[in-house]
A and B are shown apart, each in its own frame.
Chain A
Amino acid sequence: DAGITQSPRHKVTETGTPVTLRCHQTENHRYMYWYRQDPGHGLRLIHYSYGVKDTDKGEVSDGYSVSRSKTEDFLLTLESATSSQTSVYFCATWRGGSYEQYFGPGTRLTVT
């Protein structure tokens, strides 16, 4: 495992409020990813980072922004939460060389 933690693990918020999810890793992996997992859709990539301050969009990036100011932290922000963003959010990192991906425990977000 890559020593990945996510916070909070559970969150309930109201429509229209901003929300920030945090991913922290201890293995100094260069790449970090944010996914969402929904029934019927599987895992979908939101954003990813290939280094400090270097980020790129995934397939479902609308309504989300990310920041990475330190190697170990990758933040996902929902600028104005909507009910369609109710989901389980996973952070992942990539180890160099073999490019094996490791996942965090997930954050369950409910937008009411």
Chain B
Amino acid sequence: KQEVTQIPAALSVPEGENLVLNCSFTDSAIYNLQWFRQDPGKGLTSLLLIQSSQREQTSGRLNASLDKSSGRSTLYIAASQPGDSATYLCAVLQGGSEKLVFGKGTKLTVNP
């Protein structure tokens, strides 16, 4: 059974710092991995989707990498801003499945 873990559960950094959020999964036979952002009281917003054949995806200050063999993905946020404060979740889609498996998220606070 696929399990997705995000460590740490919470992270606090000063504004301007570059940071990395981690996501690990137990079964490497994934079809894709998706990173989401969730603001308090809101739904999830898709940030980046990495297909299993890709190593990384970039969108603005965000860069997500995928290492299937080690069961890890990282979300790199450059030059963090207070507006980046949110909970970040990763989710994997197993090959042949129709269901995402979610981690419990990392709550990020960027202090001015």
Contact = CB atoms under 8 A, between A and B. Distances in A.
B60 interface: no
A109 to B, nearest CB: 14
A103 B100 CA distance: 13
Interface stretch (A13-21, A42-50, A62-70, A74-82): A42-50
Interface residues of A, number: 22
Tell me what chain A mostly uses at the interface: helix, strand, loop, or mixed: strand
B51 A98 contact: yes
A104 B34 contact: no
A42 B49 CA distance: 20
> What's the interface size class on B, roughly?
20 to 34
B63 to A, nearest CB: 18
Interface string A91-112: 0101000111111111000000
B104 A42 contact: yes
Nearest to A100: B49
Contacts of A8: none
Contact of B34 (A45, A48, A58, A101): A101
